[in-house]
Structure 1
């Protein structure tokens, strides 16, 4: 099949690093192609609809008309000095006004993105279906799919209330109206958890239209066969140490601050306990505050900070851990690190939140020494290849129901 994969999120830039959403995009595109299907990727920062997300690097590359990779895109204002100047300028604007301006630009973005989708569809029809990762305020893809008569499979990760975790919403009533319209017009919706499905059903959508596919893992990359010996040696972790590890960007919803309460008690109980913290960019206030608090607690000898690492290096860092932790999670989300920990057959400690309890079972996949069970679960249910195959089945069912191919306007 020919698939148009759309990411209409205006905040995602070429070369974006880290984050579960980038992993989700790359792996799904890779799995669609691995299963023998042609995928055209359209994001918000390109002049062509023929981009692809590289599997080997973090860089979003672009294929020119000849099929060769075009040169890398550079933002001339992306240097540290320009970035600091931009931040100072932005900080002078009151927060409420900043949010309103941002949301207004997000709405305006639909006009330009709609034209870009139309240009791609005119040049490259027919597509069998469009797959879009929905983002707040974005309705251009929905309009284009309806105009051109192409089935739309919508990936839905969270309600608009998720925005409360970042900067909030400036135009909440409009955001809610757009969200309702887009999900109603989609031919099928892929929700990342049963909690999200319940939210969508509460908007009046028929249950059979909503399909739950939790996030997944690349079983080849995240394998128990990966060695963590080099990482343990690099950070002075001995065979007698019990290494508790975390992978993430130190975002507010990751809840790493909870370790400030746990670590003093745990290290007093077990002097060979060590914490390996993977992620966190230098200069990130939450990351820097966390390290400062560790120092103030006198726990520097018990913590190792790997900082931000390349995605291809994450498996060996997880391999260095004995126990992997998810300190906190939202009620609705499906953290990719959950499945990566499970793929590495690690003992996993996670919070009792509804979405995670759909995947983890206490005493079987989420406590010590049960990593092998966790690996078996992701092999059977939660690989990206399985998710891609299930999505294709959903698309085929939608196409069969519509009984028609793409139509020009």
Structure 2
């Protein structure tokens, strides 16, 4: 078949579709291309999705994802493309990884692949249940550790496992880099062990334990990779002894627990939220009862648990954790990286923002609690002739809905969708803005808002006028009319009114922004965050709050 008559269908599951489009342009320059989002297919049943895909009549079916190394269900994706009638199926990720097979070959191999993956999944689940029981017993029977003089420098193993699509960059990567860099500046020796790359972190500082994208279900995938990661961590701890295990808590992981027992050193847990709660409400993982046991094991085994907010401290208390183990340690910001006059003028030129226009910016995930739908409604409530334009940086579940609301309101010309950007680009984009927006909304199930948004502290450090929701820690950090304008969560009208007020007063923007930056420098840096962790280790080793 002539290449010019080929039809390519690109299904974007996650990540940035640009890499996939560039690859297709290079390899199939003359073929026609139709892009389909996952949301167009998710409204159908499983059989309905296949029927809808077949109606697209693709010669080549391409599925774009964040990272193939962490993408479970690849056999099912290949089979889906083949059942859609494509002669060739291609999986491609945001890092240039490509997997390409013929439709006939996929269907011929599918029964054997699914059988092998099912057996591997069953083995991982059985092995995990057995080892979990052993670890639960070991924690109950462990002896009190002997106090030792605090070493100088403190050797810390920083463990990060089970990322989700999109987390190599974003708030998680910001937090990881912020803590590691600050702790290193304070004199600690950090050995970073992860099963994925971390945006912004020099790869020479990272011990990478490669995952395997095998698992017939989400839980089986996580359990299998927990076994792989934990074994790798034990080998690395034996090779490079440490004084402290610092684990960024993740779904279905016990690596920190096992390493702490083996090395006989304390485990500190960075607990950004309950994976059980997330598994029930946001990111369905299955096997919730088993996940509950994993979570209890981590909370019980940890000598100190660092939570990002007072709300999360109360949640952990309700889980039965003693108060003396819990330390509130909010997120922070690197005020040397995020500051005024860091490239905003050039960025405004690149974005086509006029000298008399006011630019209001949002950086974050288009997800359930970031308030992007409220923001879209507020944009449409503003007078059509006002001088405000909007820069929306990020992607996620509600991206299409936001674009639809903006189109329906006739505000496409005022709104710039930047998509995913590299984190090192974020300071200049924030500096390009006159107003920064944090329109978070309450959690859907009515739970208290437990987050500590990293972007909030980055906004503060930029010295710009901020509009934010009066919600959870946001309302604790920001003071209405002093360093920000606070609105009722979910109120598009209040958000629109606050934006208009800041648009009309440069003096107000500058006064609020200067106060916000002062507060960030005084109370919300990553160095202060890391110092709290080091102080807890020192007090623990000196016996002030018990080493057992």
Query: Same fold, TM exceeding 0.5?
Result: yes
| 1:25 aligns with one of 176, 183, 194 | 176
Q: In 2, Cα distance between the equivalents of 1:265 and 1:303?
A: 13
2:162 maps to 1:9: yes
| Alpha-carbon offset, residue 210 of structure 1 | 0.7
- The 1:101–1:108 alpha-carbon spacing in structure 2 relative to 1, beyond 3 Å, is same
Structure 1 partner of 2:516? 374
| Alpha-carbon offset, residue 164 of structure 1 | 4.1
5+ long unaligned stretches in structure 2:
1-153, 444-448, 486-507
Structure having the higher Rg: 2
| Alpha-carbon offset, residue 7 of structure 1 | 0.5
Structure 1 partner of 2:388? 273
- The 1:288–1:185 alpha-carbon spacing in structure 2 relative to 1, beyond 3 Å, is same
CA offsets 1:77-131 (integer angstroms, 9 cap, x no match):
9xxxxxxxx9xxx9xxxxxxx9x82112323333322221221121111x11111
Q: In 2, Cα distance between the equivalents of 1:375 and 1:206?
A: 35
- The 1:296–1:188 alpha-carbon spacing in structure 2 relative to 1, beyond 3 Å, is same
- The 3-state SS of whatever aligns with 1:111 is helix
CA offsets 1:199-224 (integer angstroms, 9 cap, x no match):
00111212121111111101111012
Structure 2 partner of 1:263? 379
Structure 1 partner of 2:471? 353
| Alpha-carbon offset, residue 74 of structure 1 | 11
| Alpha-carbon offset, residue 165 of structure 1 | 4.8
Q: Which has the higher contact order (CA 8 A, sep 6+)?
A: 1
2:429 maps to 1:317: yes
Q: In 2, Cα distance between the equivalents of 1:348 and 1:61?
A: 35
Structure 2 partner of 1:332? 450
- The 3-state SS of whatever aligns with 1:358 is helix
Report 1:166-245 matches (<5 A).
Answer: 166-245=282-361
Contact 1:188/1:398 (<8 A) preserved: no
Note the aligned Cα RMSD (angstroms).
3.0
Q: In 1, Cα distance between the equivalents of 2:533 and 2:373?
A: 37
Q: In 2, Cα distance between the equivalents of 1:275 and 1:133?
A: 34
Q: In 2, Cα distance between the equivalents of 1:248 and 1:261?
A: 17
Q: In 2, Cα distance between the equivalents of 1:101 and 1:307?
A: 29
Q: In 2, Cα distance between the equivalents of 1:366 and 1:231?
A: 24
Q: In 2, Cα distance between the equivalents of 1:73 and 1:397?
A: 32
Q: In 1, Cα distance between the equivalents of 2:277 and 2:351?
A: 40
CA offsets 1:382-403 (integer angstroms, 9 cap, x no match):
1111111111111212222399
2:496 maps to 1:384: no
Contact 2:380/2:406 (<8 A) preserved: no
2:269 maps to 1:161: no
Q: In 1, Cα distance between the equivalents of 2:469 and 2:365?
A: 18
Contact 1:277/1:306 (<8 A) preserved: yes
Report 1:4-153 matches (<5 A).
Answer: 4-11=157-164, 17-45=168-196, 58=200, 61-62=203-204, 101-125=217-241, 127-153=242-268
- The 3-state SS of whatever aligns with 1:364 is coil
Q: In 1, Cα distance between the equivalents of 2:332 and 2:546?
A: 32
| Alpha-carbon offset, residue 308 of structure 1 | 2.2
- The 1:137–1:326 alpha-carbon spacing in structure 2 relative to 1, beyond 3 Å, is same
- The 1:204–1:165 alpha-carbon spacing in structure 2 relative to 1, beyond 3 Å, is closer
Q: Normalization by structure 1: what TM-score?
A: 0.81
- The 3-state SS of whatever aligns with 1:396 is helix
Structure 1 partner of 2:536? 394
- The 3-state SS of whatever aligns with 1:298 is coil
Contact 2:379/2:406 (<8 A) preserved: no
Q: In 1, Cα distance between the equivalents of 2:165 and 2:177?
A: 13
- The 1:36–1:392 alpha-carbon spacing in structure 2 relative to 1, beyond 3 Å, is same
Structure 1 partner of 2:482? 364
| Alpha-carbon offset, residue 311 of structure 1 | 1.0
5+ long unaligned stretches in structure 1:
46-51, 64-68, 78-85, 91-97
| Alpha-carbon offset, residue 190 of structure 1 | 0.7
